[in-house]
Amino acid sequence: MTTEKVNLNLFIVDRLDAAYRWIERLSEGVTDEQFFHQPTDDSNSIAWLVWHLSRWRDRVSASVTGETQVWISEGWAQRFGMPEERTGLGDTQEQAAAFRVPRDQVLGYAAAAHRAIVERVLKITPERFDQEVESVYGDPRPVWRILAGVIGDSTEHVGQINYLRGMTAGLGWR
């Protein structure tokens, strides 16, 4: 066991990268039909989950660093034909079912959002991690806790994505 101090920035990036690698794999072995498949009317598709997770990572990391979301600054909202404030949180069943943005566009935004969150996390100072900021829910939380939540959300949504992939395309990790 090492006694060296763990770099929190690198730890967070490692966990974000681990989740993103599963998203990258969606360009292989998954058809568009599988990408947009909803097992029931009130469940989400892989496409919607990838978009929502990417929106959340982009929005939350921008909020803790004071930067503009790439969803806005790089014109993704316009390309998707969606309002700048939409993240998927609170989407209706109808909105989730209607989500039919081309896979290359969804994965392109996922890549841009991942790049942005990694760059943002790497710039956070040790002092900043302990500072409380207003979370996207409106309550004050330390930056490290907000980013821990993003790691949890990433893990949860990637699990959902892989479950759906397994249902429609078979094992996705081989």
pLDDT tens digits, one per residue of 23-67: 998 878 789 999 999 999 889 999 999 999 999 999 999 999 999
Structure confidence at residue 171 as a pLDDT band (50, 70, 90):
low
- Is 174 inside a domain boundary? no
Q: Residue 144 pLDDT > 90, yes or no?
A: yes
- Is 86 inside a domain boundary? yes
Q: What pTM was computed for the model?
A: 0.92
- Is 109 inside a domain boundary? yes
Average pLDDT over residues 69-80: 98
Q: How many domains does the chain have?
A: 1
CB-based contacts of 45, cutoff 8 Å, min separation 6 = 35, 36, 37, 38, 96, 99, 164
Tokens of 122: 């790497």
- Is 1 inside a domain boundary? no
Calpha distance 111→130 (Å, rounded): 28
The confidence score (pLDDT) of residue 172 equals 53
Q: Residue 134 pLDDT > 70, yes or no?
A: yes
- What's the whole-number average pLDDT of the chain? 92
Structure confidence at residue 173 as a pLDDT band (50, 70, 90):
low
**Phi-psi bin for 66: left (phi > 0), alpha (psi -120 to 50), beta?**
left
- Is 150 inside a domain boundary? yes
Q: What is the pLDDT of residues 100-127, one digit of tens each?
A: 999 999 999 999 999 999 999 999 999 9
Helices and strands of the chain, counted as H and E runs? 9, 2
- Is 102 inside a domain boundary? yes
CATH number for the domain spanning 45: value is: 1.20.120.450
Q: Residue 3 pLDDT > 80, yes or no?
A: no
Residue recorded with tokens 């309550």: 139
Calpha distance 131→166 (Å, rounded): 41
Residue from 139, 141, 126 nearest 10 by CA: 126
Calpha distance 13→128 (Å, rounded): 16
Q: Provide the domain limits for residue 98.
A: 8-169
- Is 137 inside a domain boundary? yes
- Is 2 inside a domain boundary? no
